[in-house]
Structure 1
Amino acid sequence: MTAAPDADAGQAPPGRRRRRPGRPRWPRAALAVLVLLLLAIGTDAAVLTGRVGEVAVDLSADDSDGRTWVLVGLDSRAALPDGADVGDFGTPEDVPGSRADVVVVVHRTDAGTTLLSVPRDVVAGTGRLALSWLDGPAATVAALCELGIPADHLVTVDLAGFAALVDAVGGVEVDVPAPVRDRPAGLLVEHAGRRTVDGATALALVRSRHPEHRVAGTWTPAPADPDGRATTAAAVLTGLVSQVRGSAAVPWRLQSVAWTASGALAVDPGTSVPDLVDLARADVGTVEVLPAGDPLGGTLARLPTDATAAAVAAAGLSCRR
Structure 2
Amino acid sequence: MTAPHDPDAGQGSPGRRRPSPGRRGRTRVLLAVLVLVVLAVGVDVALLAGRVGEVAVDLSPDDSDGRTWVLVGLDSRDHLPAGADPAVFGTPEAVPGTRADVVLVVHQTDAGTTVLSVPRDLLVLRDQRRTRLTLTWRDGPRATVDALCSIGIDADHLVAVDFAGFAQVVDAAGGLTVDVPVPVRDPGAGLDLPRAGVQHVDGRTALALVRSRHPQHLVDGTWTPVPMDPDGRASAAGTVLGALVDAVRGSVVRPLRLQTVGWATTGALSVDPGTSVTDLAALAGADLSTVEVVPSDLRDGAVPVALPTAGTRAAIEAAGLSCR
Coarse TM-score class (shorter-chain normalised): over 0.9
Root mean square deviation, CA, Å: 1.8
Shift of 1:37: 1.6
CA contact (8 A) 1:26 1:231 kept: no
Shift of 1:298: 6.1
Of 157, 160, 163, which aligns to 1:156? 160
Structural mapping, 1:54-93, within 5 Å: 54-93=54-93
Over 3 Å counting, the alpha-carbon distance change for 1:10 and 1:49 in structure 2 is closer
Shift of 1:283: 2.3
Of 299, 311, 316, which aligns to 1:307? 311
Query: Is 1:100 paired with 2:100?
Result: yes
Matching residue of 2:179 = 175
Structure 1, unmatched stretches of 5+, are none
Of 287, 291, 295, which aligns to 2:295? 291
Matching residue of 1:34 = 34
SS at structure 2 position matched to 1:5 = coil
C-alpha distance in structure 2 between counterparts of 1:302 and 1:57, whole Å = 26
C-alpha distance in structure 2 between counterparts of 1:20 and 1:275, whole Å = 32
Structure 1 residues 21-30 or 147-156, which shifts more? 21-30
Structural mapping, 1:107-186, within 5 Å: 107-125=107-125, 126-186=130-190
Shift of 1:155: 0.3
Matching residue of 2:24 = 24
CA contact (8 A) 1:28 1:286 kept: no
C-alpha distance in structure 2 between counterparts of 1:160 and 1:18, whole Å = 25
C-alpha distance in structure 2 between counterparts of 1:41 and 1:277, whole Å = 12
C-alpha distance in structure 1 between counterparts of 2:102 and 2:168, whole Å = 18
Matching residue of 2:6 = 5
CA contact (8 A) 2:25 2:292 kept: no
Structure 1 residues 77-86 or 29-38, which shifts more? 29-38
Size of the aligned set, in residue pairs, is 316
TM-score by structure 2 length?
Answer: 0.93
TM-score by structure 1 length?
Answer: 0.93
SS at structure 2 position matched to 1:143 = helix
Over 3 Å counting, the alpha-carbon distance change for 1:275 and 1:75 in structure 2 is same
C-alpha distance in structure 2 between counterparts of 1:297 and 1:217, whole Å = 29
Matching residue of 1:317 = 321
Deviations 1:180-226 (A, max 9, x none): 11111111111111001000000001000000111122111013311
Structure 2, unmatched stretches of 5+, are none
Matching residue of 1:188 = 192
Q: Percent identity?
A: 64
Query: Is 1:210 paired with 2:211?
Result: no
C-alpha distance in structure 2 between counterparts of 1:36 and 1:134, whole Å = 27
